[in-house]
Amino acid sequence: MKNRVVITGLGVVSPNGVGLPAFKDAIKNGVSGIRLIDRLVELKFEAQIGGIPEITEELKAQYFTPLELMKFNASGILYGLIAGVDAWNDAGLKLGNIDEEPDWDSGMIFGIGSIAADKLRDGIVLIDKLQVKRLGSNFVIQTMPSGITAYLAGKLGVGNQATTNSSACATGTESILMAYERIKSGKAKRMLAGGCNDSSPYTWAGFDALRVATYKHNHEPEKASQPMGRDASGFVAGSGAGALVLETLESALERGAHIYAEILGGDMNTGGQKGDGSMTLPNSVGVQRCIKEAIKDAGIHADDIDVINGHLTSTGKCNLEIKNWSEALNRKGKDFPYITALKSMIGHTLGAAGAIESIAAILQLEEGFLVPNLNCKNIDPVILDLVDEEKITKEYIKKDLNIIAKSSFGFGDVNACVIYKKYTG
């Protein structure tokens, strides 16, 4: 018998809100976290805007010791640790104690999109100056891909699997599905899952060089990210972290934990960069297969989906994503589900995107509302041929919801789709 898996804790570090209350308020009210970044102006980037969470020194001190903070500049790990600890606390779980045994029933799969580019840059400068001994004792743990789980495992005191995954922009959603599978199969009672991404210009520079980041709205940052928009001119780079505590329904009920939602199932695959797929674009056959297999794994019908929380990056390819959803679900027009695009508020947070956007989806399920899609005044006409315009909400709407499908697609033609359900017992 397979375990039912529920979500009992949430933590978020987003460009439009740090902490669950601030984030929830922002997504309900359509608050954008995108702004002009002075450092990108100094470096003469074409795209000079982005989404960076506002983290104060006082907030850092709540999660790191003074010694840890002395030379700490790995922003992705910082965001991930704050979100992870917050999710653990939100679930009513205790942080680890050095005098206690690890919690063998609890583990984590926490993804990262890119490692600490700032820290690597500092290290390269020292090495080139023949000052390798000045790298310090924390250089390795901040620059190894699994640095996020190394920090979090110690803070939380988990003793089960502790793994870092990385699948480009599908990372956050993939981590949730991998954690779900471990719990469902009985190998763990609970898992922390999530994703994080740093805010370094050295990370964003490659996207600027690829010319996939928009530069047309440097003077009006909040209007730059236009998922599903007719005039979409590229994505806005973002950063942050999202973390979710997943556990067996039995464990959650035994603890009297608050249950946000249930995970019914999902799927991950790759289109193999075949057909219309490439290193940067998904193979439509692979996308549609991923969606169909997720629905099958969840044990639902395509008609049961109330809302799609899309990937929808604002690169001008949103119409292809909508077409794939329409064909996979065999639904169009007024029959098409409601669709939300959180990147209109926070930009594309890369390795963190699937986790942050999943948190938004789960909050919508629990409280019954649809978030506004910003910058959707001029919707792509190709999309309007497939979706009734009223299904692309432009303002906060109270609505009873039962099932949300969350999709993520990443460089390398990788796909992930997870199905969330309102918990009703």
Domain count, the chain: 2
Last residue within a domain, chosen from 206, 238, 261: 261
301 is catalytic: no
Q: Which residues pair with 107 in a beta bridge?
A: 191
The pLDDT of residue 156 is 96
Contact by Cβ (8 Å): 23, 79: no
- Radius of gyration over alpha carbons of the chain, in Å? 20
- For the cut 80, the answer to whether the pLDDT of residue 364 exceeds it is yes
Is the same domain home to 360 and 380?
yes
Contact by Cβ (8 Å): 218, 47: yes
Instruction: Check 217, 290, 318, 348 and give the catalytic one.
Output: 348
Distance, CA of 112 to CA of 142 (rounded, Å): 12
CATH number of the domain that 145 lies in?
3.40.47.10
* Strand runs labelled E in 141-253: 162-163, 190-197, 240-248
The pLDDT of residue 175 is 98
Is the same domain home to 359 and 380?
yes
Q: Which amino acid is at 349?
A: T
DSSP letter (8 states) at residue 169: B
Is the same domain home to 242 and 301?
no
Least trusted range by pLDDT, from 113-127, 170-184, 334-348 = 113-127
**pLDDT confidence bin for 1, thresholds 50/70/90:** low
What 3-state class would DSSP assign to 262?
Answer: strand
Strand 261-270 with 17-18, pairing: unpaired
From the list 248, 244, 116, the residue with the least C-alpha distance to 173 is 244
- Which pTM value belongs to this model? 0.97
The chain-wide mean pLDDT, for the chain, equals: 95
Last residue within a domain, chosen from 206, 234, 261: 261
Average pLDDT over residues 240-268: 98
| CA-to-CA dists, residue 163 to 10, 65, 181, 359, angstroms | 19, 24, 14, 21
Is the same domain home to 72 and 158?
yes
The pLDDT of residue 142 is 87
Instruction: Check 311, 318, 376, 417 and give the catalytic one.
Output: 311
pLDDT tens readout for residues 184-230: 999 999 999 999 999 999 999 999 999 999 999 999 999 999 999 99
**pLDDT confidence bin for 301, thresholds 50/70/90:** very high
pLDDT tens readout for residues 164-190: 999 999 999 999 999 999 999 999 999
Q: Tell me how crowded residue 49 is: count the other CB atoms within 10 A of its CB.
A: 26
Is the same domain home to 230 and 274?
no
Average pLDDT over residues 20-40: 98
**pLDDT confidence bin for 15, thresholds 50/70/90:** very high
The pLDDT of residue 158 is 96
The pLDDT of residue 123 is 87
| CA-to-CA dists, residue 346 to 26, 37, 43, angstroms | 10, 14, 22
Could you tell me what percent of the chain has a pLDDT over 90? 87
Is the same domain home to 241 and 97?
yes
| CA-to-CA dists, residue 190 to 81, 162, 359, angstroms | 18, 12, 17
Is the same domain home to 185 and 283?
no
Contact by Cβ (8 Å): 25, 17: yes
417 is catalytic: no
Instruction: Check 169, 196, 290, 417 and give the catalytic one.
Output: 169
Q: Tell me how crowded residue 240 is: count the other CB atoms within 10 A of its CB.
A: 37
The pLDDT of residue 114 is 85
169 is catalytic: yes
Can you give the residue range of the structural domain that contains 282? 268-421
- For the cut 80, the answer to whether the pLDDT of residue 124 exceeds it is yes
Structure tokens at 237: 């780079």
Is the same domain home to 276 and 128?
no
pLDDT tens readout for residues 37-70: 999 999 999 999 999 999 999 999 999 888 888 7
Helix (H) or strand (E) holding 418: strand 414-421
Is the same domain home to 195 and 328?
no
Is the same domain home to 281 and 371?
yes
